[in-house]
C-alpha cells in the first residue's frame, strides 16, 4: 500500500517503506531517475532483495512524478533533492545506503553530501548516475536557436528517446541546476562509492562515471563498466550485478 509523506506548503510525497527485521543492516534508499517512478524494475527488484535479507528499504516518487503531488514542469533539481532529504529525515532512523539511478544519482550524491558530517551514509551505489546533466543537455542537445529560445521564452522541448512526449526543458530548471553542480569539484565522501555504468549507454556515457570518479577522488575500482549495458541496466544479469554491489556495501 502506498503511503504519503505530508508536508506543510509542499506537495505530498508517495512512498513505500519496508521496516527490515535485521537492524544491523543499513536501510536502502532508492532515488529514481528523471520522469521515472518508484514502480520501476530496479526499484522493485531491490525491494524484493531487501525483504529476503530482512533489510529496511524505502522507495519514493519525487514531486511531479508517479503518485506524488505537484506538477512536473514546475519542478527543479532543488525540489527533488528537498524531497529526498525530507524522505530521509522522516523515514530513516539510522544508517543508510543510497542507490541513485540516472538523475537519482545526482540527487543521491547531493543527499550524501548533505549528510557528510554525520555517520548516517554507509555507502552509495550509482546506476548510470547523471550529475550535472542539465549542463550536458544545454550544451550538447540544444542548438544555438534552442539555447536562445530557452533564455528568451523560458522553455524548449527536447526529443525523448523513451516516449513520444518530448522533454520540457525550462530556463528555471537549467538555472536551478547550476546551483547544484558537483562535477566542478566536490568534497570527498567518507563512505564507499560504486558507480555501475553500461558501456553502450548513449544517454549517460561512461565518461560521466569517470568524471564523478575524478570529482570525488574515488579509487579506480569505483567505476564498474558493464559490457554492452545500455542506460536502463535492467536486464536480469545486470540486476544481479547491481545486487552484488549493493550487498557488498551493505
**pLDDT at residue 160, as a whole number:** 75
- Mean per-residue pLDDT of the chain: 95
Write out pLDDT tens, residues 208-237: 999 999 999 999 999 999 999 999 999 999
User: Does residue 156 lie within any of the structural domains?
Assistant: yes
Nearest to 124 by CA among 187, 189, 59, 36: 189
Distance CA 102, CA 68 (A): 19
Average pLDDT over residues 58-76: 96
**pLDDT at residue 236, as a whole number:** 98
Whether residues 141 and 169 share a domain: the answer is: yes
Q: What angle do CA 103, 108, 114 make, to 5 degrees?
A: 135
Whether residues 109 and 232 share a domain: the answer is: yes
3-state secondary structure 205-236: CHHHHHHHHHHCCCCHHHEEEECCCCCCCCCH
Whether residues 91 and 173 share a domain: the answer is: no
- Give the largest Cα separation in the chain, rounded: 56
pLDDT interval class at 165 (50, 70, 90): confident
Distance CA 97, CA 94 (A): 10
Whether residues 121 and 60 share a domain: the answer is: yes
Q: Is the dihedral of CA 229, 233, 236, 237 positive or negative?
A: positive
**pLDDT at residue 230, as a whole number:** 97
**pLDDT at residue 168, as a whole number:** 83
Write out pLDDT tens, residues 8-60: 999 999 999 999 999 999 999 999 999 999 999 999 999 999 999 999 999 99
pLDDT at 166 over 90: no
Q: The domain containing residue 89 runs over which residues?
A: 3-131+192-249
**pLDDT at residue 214, as a whole number:** 95
**pLDDT at residue 185, as a whole number:** 80
pTM above 0.75, yes or no: yes
**pLDDT at residue 15, as a whole number:** 98
Q: Residue 149 belongs to a domain with what CATH number?
A: 3.90.1280
Whether residues 95 and 218 share a domain: the answer is: yes
**pLDDT at residue 75, as a whole number:** 95
Whether residues 109 and 36 share a domain: the answer is: yes
C-alpha grid cell for residue 72? 512536473
Whether residues 88 and 102 share a domain: the answer is: yes
Q: Please spell the DSSP secondary structure of 141-208, one letter per residue.
A: IS-HHHHHHHHHHSEEEE--TT-SSPEEEEHHHHHHHHTT--TT--PPPSS-EEEEEETT-SSS-HHH
**pLDDT at residue 93, as a whole number:** 85
Q: Residue 16 belongs to a domain with what CATH number?
A: 3.40.50.1820
pLDDT at 70 over 80: yes
**pLDDT at residue 143, as a whole number:** 93
Whether residues 115 and 14 share a domain: the answer is: yes
Write out pLDDT tens, residues 95-131: 999 999 999 999 999 999 999 999 999 999 999 999 9
- Considering its fold, how many domains does the chain have in total? 2
pLDDT at 246 over 90: yes
More confident residue, 1 or 99: 99
pLDDT interval class at 164 (50, 70, 90): confident
**pLDDT at residue 198, as a whole number:** 98
Provide the 10 A C-beta neighbour count for residue 178.
12
Cell 516516449 found at = 163
Q: Is the dihedral of CA 29, 233, 61, 214 positive or negative?
A: positive
User: Does residue 197 lie within any of the structural domains?
Assistant: yes
Amino acid at each position: 500500500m502506498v503511503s504519503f509523506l505530508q508536508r506543510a506548503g509542499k506537495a505530498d510525497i508517495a512512498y513505500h517503506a519496508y521496516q527490515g527485521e535485521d537492524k544491523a543492516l543499513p536501510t536502502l534508499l532508492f532515488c529514481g531517475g528523471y520522469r521515472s517512478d518508484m514502480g520501476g524494475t530496479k526499484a522493485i527488484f531491490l525491494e524484493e532483495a531487501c525483504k529476503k535479507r530482512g533489510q529496511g528499504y524505502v522507495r519514493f516518487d519525487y514531486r511531479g512524478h508517479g503518485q506524488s503531488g505537484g506538477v512536473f514542469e514546475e519542478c527543479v533539481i532543488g525540489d527533488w533533492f528537498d524531497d529526498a532529504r525530507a524522505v530521509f529525515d522522516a523515514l530513516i532512523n539510522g544508517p543508510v545506503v543510497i542507490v541513485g539511478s540516472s538523475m537519482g544519482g545526482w540527487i543521491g550524491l547531493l543527499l550524501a553530501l548533505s549528510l557528510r558530517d554525520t555517520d548516517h551514509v554507509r555507502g552509495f551505489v550509482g546506476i548510470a548516475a547523471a550529475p550535472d546533466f542539465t549542463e550536458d543537455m544545454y550544451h550538447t542537445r540544444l542548438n544555438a536557436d534552442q539555447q536562445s529560445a530557452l533564455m528568451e521564452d523560458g522553455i524548449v522541448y527536447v526529443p525523448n528517446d523513451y516516449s513520444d512526449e518530448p522533454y520540457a526543458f525550462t530556463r528555471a530548471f537549467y538555472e536551478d541546476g547550476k546551483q547544484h553542480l558537483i562535477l566542478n569539484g566536490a568534497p570527498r565522501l567518507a563512505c564507499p562509492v560504486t558507480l555501475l555504468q553500461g558501456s553502450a549507454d548513449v544517454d549517460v556515457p561512461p565518461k560521466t562515471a569517470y568524471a564523478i570518479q575524478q570529482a570525488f577522488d574515488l579509487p579506480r575500482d569505483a567505476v564498474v563498466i558493464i559490457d554492452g549495458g545500455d542506460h536502463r541496466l535492467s536486464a536480469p544479469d545486470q540486476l544481479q550485478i547491481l545486487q552484488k554491489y549493493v550487498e557488498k556495501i551493505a
